[in-house]
Amino acid sequence: MVPVDLTHVEHLQKALQTAADLAKHYGSPVTYVGVTPETPSPVAHNPSEYAQKLEAFAQDQASKHGHEASSKAYTSTDPAIDINDTLLKAVHETRADLVVMQSHIPNVTDYIWPSHGGSVASHSDVSVFLVR
Amino acid sequence: MTTDTDVEAVPSPEGPADIIETDYQIGQDNITPKIGPFGLDIHNPVFLVSGLVVIAFVLLTIIFQDSAGPAFDGMRKFLTSNLDWFFLSAGNIFVLVCIACIVLPIGSVRLGGRDATPDYSYLGWFSMLFAAGMGIGLMFFGVSEPISHYSSSVAEGAGSPDSWAPLAGAAGDPDEARRLGMAATIFHWGLHPWAVYAIVALGLALFSFNKGLPLTIRSLFYPIFGERVWGWPGHVIDILAVFATLFGLATSLGLGAQQANAGLDFVFGVPNTVDVQVILIIAITAVALISVLRGLDGGVKVLSEINMVVAAALLLFVMFAGGIMSVLSGFVSNLVAYGEELIPLSSPVGRDDDNFRQGWTSFYWAWWISWSPFVGMFIARVSRGRTVREFMIAVLLVPTIVSVLWMTAFGGTAISLIEEAGMTQIADAALELKLFEMLSGLPLAAITSFIGVVLVIVFFVTSSDSGSLVIDTITAGGKVNAPVSQRVFWCTFEGLVAIALLLGGGLGALQAAAVSTGFPFAVILLLACYALFKGLYSEPRGKAAAAA
């Protein structure tokens, strides 16, 4: 499973490449997961449009890297806070056995607000591969 | 509430809707500076202008405490005495617009598109509508306002130029004074305030869910300004919305702090001073911060539900302790009185009750208008899937009926205690103390007074945290997932503005802030009414046919 923020795809290239390499090496499918608000966002007018864009992104990755891909979109009333719980829920629902996730280099703010990657790694019962 | 929207499971999309095709991309004007380790995602210039002005306001008010009070008071008197006709007229227009939305064919437009289904049940939706609107206000004014109008109406000088009685008062006639007092109170808490909220909420829901525009106030004005709404006209509208929300909230927070302090004094003997109120605001803002960091579902919603349960319990207690039959008969007679006096009370001309009209009604209308971006945005977010007609009937009628019941139970019981038990101390007490004086006339006074204080404090927290979320959304250009540190900034500054206003003139300063920000925003809302009709008439109506 690869969590993606469609607003900042350019920042995710290392994680996307890592996930694709692993998928090809083990012949595993990749599920791209995204979380969107119910209100219009920089990516889409509404959740269904977001879901279509996420699916298009997944198929684009599949054709680019040559692995099997699907997508799963979630809506949240407060994505800034709910995202970690939503990703943990997604781990179960996608039945993923590995999460590959981009994460920033830890800094002092992590003591107040842990990074999403750090939080998912702390609470997930499957392996989490954080890409700095 | 997080729901799974699998690609094939998405209700695709929500049926026909009139999406506005604009080149503007949400967040395109945002800047992402880093302040120390904190990354921000803020709209330029809305965040910068509103943030800097608020910081300057807090500093100047605290530095010049002695001159701030009289200045605020003068501003309030000038606006309410010279522009009362404007506030009253605007309020009437808002009610008429809402009624038009119910009776015209546009009532069948569905928020979220023709196939949208409601996110919440009727019960959940009604609870949130009510919780959003008037928590602290109902606690503060539930007893004090009916008593104030009753006392001024029954007094010998009622009807004279110096009197604060509504309309001509009812000198020496307690029954008529009670009727008039309750009608005037319900007038301030009934259709007019909810019409203001409804217009903002409907506009935001329509232009966000149906038209695909960002969830900010400027989106309402796309039909008027077109693409220019993304420039300075829109910046000004959003900045005014931030000020209105912040100062409207600060007014409520100040009132809440005064009443919580009065209650703590009444129950535990805590000194009733500005210093204690400042400490209260700091402590409660800290709790609001925790709530903000827990998010909409984990913080705001949980506290709102606690509020509703505790408020309902207190209401039921007062109804039974005060005499259930008299409350129920009072409910009907007060509703009738409200209907009879609605036109005279809402008339902007040909009246002699200057003190009442300017001191009470003008202030209230400005206060409701200043709260409208905050409450409107909250209502909009929970109303997806409703038709315009259903939305308007629910937003206007349900909270109005609950307000009538609340005022009848609390205010009516207080008047009965004065008339039948001779508890004149209720009438003589300060506004923030009247609730506790009334509760002292009923059984279990210590417990109910303590519950009253807790309710005020929890309402205070829910106002502060949900207000922070709304201001954060507006200043992030409509993004609802901006960095959490921005919420912390706004939550902190709401508390600081309330403290600054309390130090710089107390209740008068708080009211002046609400009136001052309410006035320009009233002008904006009048324009929004036109934009709303334009937006509604461009929408497909009714439910799409299954085969379509």
Instruction: Pick the more confident residue, B177 or B20.
Output: B177
The per-residue pLDDT for B142 is 93
Instruction: Pick the more confident residue, B158 or B511.
Output: B158
The reply to whether residue A40 touches residue B478, judged by beta carbons under 8 angstroms, is yes
* Closest Cβ–Cβ partner in A40, A80, A109 for B212: A40
Q: Read out DSSP for B392-447?
A: HHHHHHHHHHHHHHHHIIIIIHHHHHHHHH--THHHHS-GGGHHHHHHTTSTTHHH
The per-residue pLDDT for B2 is 45
Per CB-CB distance under 8 Å, the chain B contacts of A46 are 13-14, 113, 209, 212
The per-residue pLDDT for B6 is 42
The per-residue pLDDT for B246 is 86
B209 touches chain A (CB under 8 A): yes
Choosing among A81, A83, A104, A112, which should be mutated to test the B contact, i.e. which has the most B CBs within 10 A?
A81
Amino acid symbol at B290: I
Every domain of chain B and the residues it spans: 30-538
The per-residue pLDDT for B176 is 96
> B7 pLDDT band (50/70/90 cuts)?
very low
Rounded to whole angstroms, the Cα distance separating B11 from B5 reads 8
B21 touches chain A (CB under 8 A): no
Choosing among A6, A32, A38, A39, which should be mutated to test the B contact, i.e. which has the most B CBs within 10 A?
A39
A45 touches chain B (CB under 8 A): yes
Cis peptide before B520 (omega within 30 of 0): no
* Closest Cβ–Cβ partner in A52, A78, A109 for B295: A78
The per-residue pLDDT for A37 is 87
Instruction: Pick the more confident residue, B513 or B396.
Output: B396
- Would the pLDDT of B201 be above 90? yes
Average pLDDT across chain B, whole number: 87
* Closest Cβ–Cβ partner in A55, A82, A93 for B7: A55
A46 touches chain B (CB under 8 A): yes
| Tens-digit pLDDT profile for residues A33-87 | 999 987 888 888 888 889 999 999 999 999 999 999 999 999 887 888 889 999 9
Rounded to whole angstroms, the Cα distance separating A101 from B535 reads 42
The reply to whether residue A42 touches residue B27, judged by beta carbons under 8 angstroms, is yes
CA distance B142 to chain A (A): 33
CA-closest candidate to residue A32, choices A10, A6, A66: A6
A10 touches chain B (CB under 8 A): no
The reply to whether residue B295 touches residue A86, judged by beta carbons under 8 angstroms, is no
Rounded to whole angstroms, the Cα distance separating B71 from B69 reads 5
Sequence-separated (6 or more) residues with CB below 8 Å from residue B546: none
Q: What is the mean pLDDT of residues B113-117?
A: 83
Q: What is the mean pLDDT of residues B266-282?
A: 92
What is the DSSP code (8-state) at residue B230?
G
Lowest-confidence segment of B126-140, B169-183, B359-373 by average pLDDT = B126-140
> B133 pLDDT band (50/70/90 cuts)?
low
CA quadruple A33, A39, A43, A48: dihedral sign: positive
> B106 pLDDT band (50/70/90 cuts)?
very high
- Would the pLDDT of B132 be above 70? no
Rounded to whole angstroms, the Cα distance separating B528 from A25 reads 58
> B222 pLDDT band (50/70/90 cuts)?
very high
The reply to whether residue B2 touches residue A37, judged by beta carbons under 8 angstroms, is no
Lowest-confidence segment of B21-30, B114-123, B275-284, B436-445 by average pLDDT = B114-123
CA distance A51 to chain B (A): 6
B542 touches chain A (CB under 8 A): no
Lowest-confidence segment of B120-129, B232-241, B498-507, B526-535 by average pLDDT = B120-129
* Closest Cβ–Cβ partner in A48, A55, A81 for B13: A48
B479 touches chain A (CB under 8 A): yes
> B543 pLDDT band (50/70/90 cuts)?
low
The per-residue pLDDT for B265 is 92
The reply to whether residue A46 touches residue B11, judged by beta carbons under 8 angstroms, is no
Rounded to whole angstroms, the Cα distance separating A76 from A61 reads 25
Rounded to whole angstroms, the Cα distance separating B31 from B40 reads 8
DSSP H stretches of helix in chain A: 13-26, 47-65, 79-94, 116-123
Amino acid symbol at B299: G
The per-residue pLDDT for B507 is 65
| Tens-digit pLDDT profile for residues B287-320 | 889 988 888 777 877 888 888 889 999 999 999 9
Rounded to whole angstroms, the Cα distance separating B42 from B54 reads 16
Count Cβ atoms within 10 A of the Cβ of residue B269 and give its class: 0-12 exposed, 13-18 middle, 19 or more buried.
exposed
> B15 pLDDT band (50/70/90 cuts)?
low
Instruction: Pick the more confident residue, B130 or B543.
Output: B130
Instruction: Pick the more confident residue, B13 or B451.
Output: B451
Instruction: Pick the more confident residue, B374 or A110.
Output: B374
CA distance A124 to chain B (A): 18
The per-residue pLDDT for B231 is 95
CA distance A53 to chain B (A): 10
Average pLDDT across chain A, whole number: 90
* Closest Cβ–Cβ partner in B3, B5, B482 for A80: B482
CA distance A79 to chain B (A): 6
* Closest Cβ–Cβ partner in B14, B297, B485 for A82: B297
Rounded (5°) CA angle B356-B361-B367: 140
3-state secondary structure of B307: helix
Tell me the CB-side half-sphere exposure of residue B292, using CA atoms within 13 A.
Answer: 33
Place of tokens 């507006």: B474
Domain B30-538: give its CATH superfamily: Amino acid/polyamine transporter I (1.20.1740.10)
Whether the CB-CB separation of B323 and B412 falls below 8 Å is answered with: no
B6 touches chain A (CB under 8 A): yes
Whether the CB-CB separation of B351 and B167 falls below 8 Å is answered with: yes
Per CB-CB distance under 8 Å, the chain B contacts of A49 are 13
B32 touches chain A (CB under 8 A): no
Instruction: Pick the more confident residue, B477 or B128.
Output: B477
> B547 pLDDT band (50/70/90 cuts)?
very low
- Would the pLDDT of A1 be above 90? yes
> B437 pLDDT band (50/70/90 cuts)?
very high
CA-closest candidate to residue B289, choices B100, B141, B492: B492
Lowest-confidence segment of A23-37, A106-120, B247-261 by average pLDDT = A106-120
- Would the pLDDT of B36 be above 90? no
Please state, for a pLDDT cut of 90, what percent of chain B lies above it. Answer: 48
3-state secondary structure of B43: strand
B11 touches chain A (CB under 8 A): yes
Lowest-confidence segment of A94-103, B31-40, B75-84, B270-279 by average pLDDT = B31-40
The per-residue pLDDT for B212 is 86
Count Cβ atoms within 10 A of the Cβ of residue B419 and give its class: 0-12 exposed, 13-18 middle, 19 or more buried.
middle
A5 touches chain B (CB under 8 A): no
A14 touches chain B (CB under 8 A): no
> B61 pLDDT band (50/70/90 cuts)?
confident
Whether the CB-CB separation of B531 and B222 falls below 8 Å is answered with: yes
* Closest Cβ–Cβ partner in A42, A74, A85 for B5: A74
CA distance B498 to chain A (A): 26
Window A:91-120, CB contacts with B under 8 Å = 93, 107-109, 113
Question: In the numeric block, which tokens belong to residue A17?
Answer: 């490449």
Per CB-CB distance under 8 Å, the chain B contacts of A72 are 4, 6-7
